[in-house]
Amino acid sequence: MFKFIGVYDYTVILTYTSLVSAVIGIIQATHGRFTAAILCLFLSGVCDAFDGKVARTKKDRTDDEKAFGIQLDSLCDVVSFGVFPAVLCYCMGTSGVLGVVLACAYCICAVMRLAFFNVIEGKRQQTEGGANKVYRGLPVTSIALIFPIVYIFGKFLNDRMYTGVLCVMLAVVAFLFIFDFEFKKPQIDNILHNEK
């Protein structure tokens, strides 16, 4: 009988879907199909918004399964919301020295924030459990909402201006990933049921 490492149940499906969407998006970006790539980024964000909630519906998860889910989510987020947006920006024109430096800085800040999250979340899970109530720093998944908005408004700009906007976006979002501030996490249940 073959044995495999990892967790194989419904709790990880959305996380893997987010990763697959990001990989497809990177491929679309390298072929210049930017609208398709942006849609893939947005889909990755939607999947990430619900993956934790879906995972928590399984009440008999072991501590190892919970820890695996946390690590898996962050590793997939590195690709989906770190590498993918940086590659997308590069393909859209931020290919000069400044653009490459900003893309690298963006990825580093995303990885730093995710590593910080893993440490804090691992400690919190041991004492509290359940979903986290606040974010510290801008969550990396926020780029899945920010980038599509920038992309839509970019349709009204010339190429040079749009490239500048992408550079500013990378710099500001990267800074906010590692800037230590707290804000309340939106509750998906409230959004789904229109409760404020």
pLDDT band at 42 (very low <50, low <70, confident <90, very high): very high
120, part of any domain: yes
| CATH at residue 184 | 1.20.120.1760
Number of H helices, E strands in the chain: 8, 2
Asked whether the predicted pLDDT for residue 142 surpasses 50, the reply is: yes
- Asked, for residue 37, whether it belongs to a domain, the answer is yes
Both tokens of residue 133?
């109530």
In a domain, 18, yes or no: yes
Q: How many CB atoms lie within 10 A of CB 179?
A: 12
pLDDT in tens, 84-137: 999 999 999 998 899 999 999 999 999 999 999 888 876 766 676 656 678 889
Count of structural domains within the chain: 1
**48 within domain boundaries:** yes
Q: How confident is the model at residue 191 (pLDDT cuts 50, 70, 90)?
A: very low
Asked if residue 1 is part of any domain, the answer here is no
Residue 2 resides in a domain: no
Q: Is residue 185 within 8 Å of residue 132, measured between CB atoms?
A: yes
Inside any domain, residue 3: no
Confidence at residue 41, expressed as pLDDT on a 0 to 100 scale: 98
- pTM for this predicted structure: 0.87
Query: What domain range includes position 162?
Result: 10-192
Largest CA distance in the chain: 60
b/e map of 149-171 (b: 16 or more CB within 10 Å)? ebbeebeeeeeeebbebbbebbb
The phi, psi pair for 184, rounded to 5°, reads -65, 135
